Amino acid sequence: MIRHLLLLALALPLVAADAVALDGPATSPSAQDGNGAETPAPTDAAGPRPGELPADATPSAVATWRAMVAAIGAAEQTAPITSFDMSLSLLTRSGRRGLDPHPETHDVDTRVQYLAPPFVRYSLSADVETGYGPSGYWLKDKDEVRSLRGRDYQTDREQVMQVRSLCVNFLAVSDPSQLRIASLVEFPRCPIRGLPERPGFDFKRMKWLRIVTPDFQLVEELQPKVTDTNAGHQGAMYQVFFGLDEQTNLPRCAHVVRLPAKRTAPTDGSADGADASAPPPDPDMPFEQLILLDDWRASAGASQSKERLPHRLLVWERLPQHPLFANFLAEPDREVYVKDGSSLRPSFTPTDFEPIPPGADQVDR
């Protein structure tokens, strides 16, 4: 039960990215053989490069983007963030997408460790850990280690991929200066309809930027909510709206959708009074994710005093074409809290992500 709830909470579509190391090649979580071996996703040598802004972006859009990066502190970093050690408190709400008027809530605490390229380990309970290291996917229960190879463990591997995607996306938001950006546009007003009302989040007063990037990935790729909606979008592009605090320039909102192939126009209708020419949501786009970012402050391991991280994330999802899932509900589907003791840039090595302790018995099917 604990494992199931934790995986529900960690499977954030944040906003999740292809398993992209900030300083290495991209790999797709869905590109693997039956044993979990991963193959590189196709890359476009002529595509956007990390940190470079599009030549056709307006000076105002560029200035707003750079103000956001400076507010986070990413502009002052000596190097990209490639590792972290996070203690998280997670809250999920069950029964959200139906007629249940009193959904249950579940709280779980976990520790997630990450090192790029894509090594991850995290706790499922006091005695159980799982992750991905140089030897592949694994599950450790006390002193017994199980290699997650073969068809029987496909679901287990996908769950680790989801958590790893959360890690990569968390770094993408924390260090946006490293994103590959194909398009950068500034909007004069909120471009998203139907946002939930939330104290402390005045969407009408935010500054709005829209980027198109390959460096996000929605959980839909691994755990589709509607059958046959989208199987394996390697190299997909994502539209991300950032809503910035008008005073601090910190991102308070990220709205993510996958763009249909070869399409980079906005896919969400405009708010009242905004550009009405924006096309409606495309049937090929299964769902949207909304992440509200709160409690930005320095964390242990920050290389500069101005380097900040969001310590509270509220996550909603909706399926525009589905009768039950079309709206963002009043309460978030998931809440993530970064706890004290979390740190950036711990001195991890790949061997830290191997599960087998001395004398452990390995079970490999």
Q: Higher pLDDT residue, 135 or 20? A: 135
Tens-digit pLDDT profile for residues 28-41: 333 343 444 443 34
Residue 139 has pLDDT above 90, yes or no: yes
Average pLDDT over residues 73-93: 80
The answer to which of 271-280, 294-303, 353-362 has the lowest mean pLDDT is 271-280
Provide the pLDDT for residue 155.
86
Residue 265 has pLDDT above 70, yes or no: no
76 — pLDDT class (breaks 50, 70, 90): low
d(CA 3, CA 363): 20
Average pLDDT over residues 316-328: 76
Q: Higher pLDDT residue, 3 or 241? A: 241
168 — pLDDT class (breaks 50, 70, 90): confident
φ, ψ of residue 244 in degrees (nearest 5): -105, 140
φ, ψ of residue 143 in degrees (nearest 5): -100, 5
Provide the pLDDT for residue 75.
63
pTM: 0.74
Residue 100 has pLDDT above 50, yes or no: yes
133 — pLDDT class (breaks 50, 70, 90): very high
Beta-bridge mates of residue 335? 91, 314
Provide the pLDDT for residue 240.
93
| 3-class DSSP assignment, residue 71 | helix
> Directed axis angle between helix 2-10 and helix 154-174, to 10°?
40
Cβ proximity of 240 and 211 under 8 Å: yes
Of the candidates 130, 110, 109, the one whose C-alpha atom is nearest the C-alpha of residue 120 is 130
Most confident of 43-47, 70-74, 92-96, 227-231: 70-74
Provide the pLDDT for residue 247.
95
d(CA 78, CA 75): 9
Most confident of 49-58, 70-79, 174-183: 49-58
Q: Higher pLDDT residue, 269 or 108? A: 108
Most confident of 13-17, 85-89, 257-261: 85-89
Provide the pLDDT for residue 106.
82
Percent of the chain scored above 90 by pLDDT? 33
Tens-digit pLDDT profile for residues 270-291: 433 334 334 444 445 457 888 8
Tens-digit pLDDT profile for residues 8-67: 444 443 333 332 222 222 233 333 434 444 433 444 556 888 889 999 999 999 999 999
In SS3 terms, 312-352 reads as: EEEEEEECCCCCCCCCCCCCCCEEEEECCCCEECCCCCHHH
Task: For strands 361-364 and 144-147, give the pairing.
Answer: parallel
Average pLDDT, whole number, for the chain? 74
Tens-digit pLDDT profile for residues 193-213: 889 999 999 999 999 999 999
Average pLDDT over residues 255-282: 52
